[in-house]
Amino acid sequence: MTSSIFEALTADEAARVRAAGTPLTLPAGWSPISERTPADKAYILTAGEVSVRRNGTEIATLGAGQIIGEAAIVNHTLRSASIVALTPLEALHYTSEHLEELVAEIPAVASALATAAAERHGGA
């Protein structure tokens, strides 16, 4: 599993990122992101675990502190994988606009997103 996005941020930056998200709870089995769909939202997991699936095959599992859905927003592409909750999830929800604002306002967020994407593609 890759590192938490918050590890790359100062305490103040992490607090700003947390405050910008909308907390929500999702049940096990739910799929908040589907492959080959437009990038309109991202989530930072605060509790629980998800399966990342490409063409129906699991390519990774992610947990607390991980961001999901950001790569397609940052790269302006369709989703490259589906996300399925393996357990009940607690997460922070971000619209694509909110995530892009955070990237513009906090340079460390852009760096953390790039690191998260590189870790996943290196391991996938």
Query: Which pTM does this prediction carry?
Result: 0.86
Region 95-114: what's the mean pLDDT? 88
Domain count across the chain: 1
Residues sharing a CB contact under 8 Å with residue 65, sequence separation 6 or more, in sequence order: 3, 4, 5, 6, 7, 44, 45, 46
- Residue 14 confidence (pLDDT) above 70: yes
**pLDDT greater at residue 43 or residue 1:** 43
Q: Which two tokens stand for residue 102?
A: 């955070």
The CATH number covering residue 83 comes to: 2.60.120.10
Structural domain for 57, as ranges:
5-123
**Predicted confidence (pLDDT) per residue in 39-74, tens digit:** 889 999 999 999 999 999 999 999 999 989 888 887
- Residue 75 confidence (pLDDT) above 90: no
